[in-house]
């Protein structure tokens, strides 16, 4: 006998949404930190560092997130680490996000007109000061819309974590759908939840874009 699709099921799915948001938040924070390091390596004058970062971005961007997840999940157990699967997944998401953010941010830094750097250097500002006070603030404006866009993608991509046993929104929906046999209602509810999280971010990005281009 199938259950009715009830409020309790929605509550259960909300716990899944909690995991989804949690995973996304971890990926954003971890990805931003690692992405900043990659960006600095990419724009540094040290060719070795720059190459390493470039290679990393190349490899990770060229690997499906699902594969990265499997490697992080099974790889760690295979190597005998006893870390929680959630930790492995969080790490995989962070590494994945870092590869994209590192690339977006490098592009933003390099698209600040060269005259800005020259203007700063002509005033005697050091490389670090020019970066911090002149280049990065302008790069942030350029990078904000694509960064927010990537964040939205990332939130949706956390659904992949269900395949390695994280009970996030997509996984809870699967469970509820199996129990109620009301897939359409259940997945429409899930879609609505994803939408309610992503849409405000997209709106925010739009308004930011409009404000920055003004």
> Does position 79 bind other proteins by CB under 8 A?
no
Q: How far is the CB of 49 from other proteins (least distance, A)?
A: 19
Question: Which is nearer to other proteins, 123 or 203 (by Cβ)?
Answer: 123
**Distance linking the first and last C-alpha atoms of the chain:** 60
Contact with other proteins (CB under 8 A) among 122, 184, 210, 213: 122
Q: How far is the CB of 85 from other proteins (least distance, A)?
A: 44
Please give the C-alpha separations between residue 183 and each of 11, 63, 177, 179, 204, in angstroms, as whole numbers: 16, 31, 5, 10, 31
Please give the C-alpha separations between residue 127 and each of 120, 123, 155, in angstroms, as whole numbers: 9, 11, 36
Q: How far is the CB of 116 from other proteins (least distance, A)?
A: 6
Query: Per CB under 8 A, which region of 34-42, 67-75, 119-127, 163-171 contacts other proteins?
Result: 119-127
Greatest CA separation for the chain = 78
> Does position 125 bind other proteins by CB under 8 A?
yes
Contact with other proteins (CB under 8 A) among 26, 92, 131, 134: 134
Query: Per CB under 8 A, which region of 48-56, 79-87, 135-143, 196-204 contacts other proteins?
Result: 135-143
Please give the C-alpha separations between residue 91 and each of 31, 98, 161, in angstroms, as whole numbers: 9, 10, 12
* Cα 76–chain centre separation: 21
> Does position 156 bind other proteins by CB under 8 A?
no
Q: Which of 208, 172, 166 is nearest to 16 (CA)?
A: 172
Query: Per CB under 8 A, which region of 61-69, 72-80, 84-92, 118-126 contacts other proteins?
Result: 118-126
Q: Is there a contact between 168 and 149 (Cβ–Cβ < 8 Å)?
A: no
Interface residues with other proteins (CB under 8 A) are 115-116, 118-126, 129, 133-134, 137-138, 141
């Amino acid at each position: 006998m199938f259950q009715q699709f009830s409020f309790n099921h929605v509550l259960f799915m909300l716990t899944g949404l909690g995991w989804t948001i949690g995973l996304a938040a971890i990926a954003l924070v971890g990805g931003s930190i690692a992405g900043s390091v990659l960006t600095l390596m990419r724009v540094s004058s040290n060719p070795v560092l720059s190459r390493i970062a470039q290679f990393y971005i190349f490899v990770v961007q060229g690997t499906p997130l699902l594969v990265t997840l499997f490697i992080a999940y099974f790889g760690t157990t295979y190597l005998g680490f006893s870390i929680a699967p959630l930790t492995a997944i969080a790490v995989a998401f962070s590494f994945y996000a870092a590869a994209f953010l590192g690339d977006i941010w490098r592009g933003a830094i390099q698209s600040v007109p060269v005259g800005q750097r020259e203007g700063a250097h002509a005033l005697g500002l050091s490389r670090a000061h020019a970066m911090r006070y002149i280049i990065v603030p302008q790069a942030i404006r350029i990078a904000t819309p694509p960064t927010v866009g990537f964040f939205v993608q990332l939130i949706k991509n956390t659904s992949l974590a269900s395949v390695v046993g994280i009970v996030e929104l997509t996984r809870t929906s699967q469970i509820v759908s199996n129990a109620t046999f009301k897939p359409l209602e259940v997945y429409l509810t899930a879609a609505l939840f994803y939408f309610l999280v992503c849409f405000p971010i997209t709106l925010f990005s739009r308004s930011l874009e409009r404000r920055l281009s003004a």
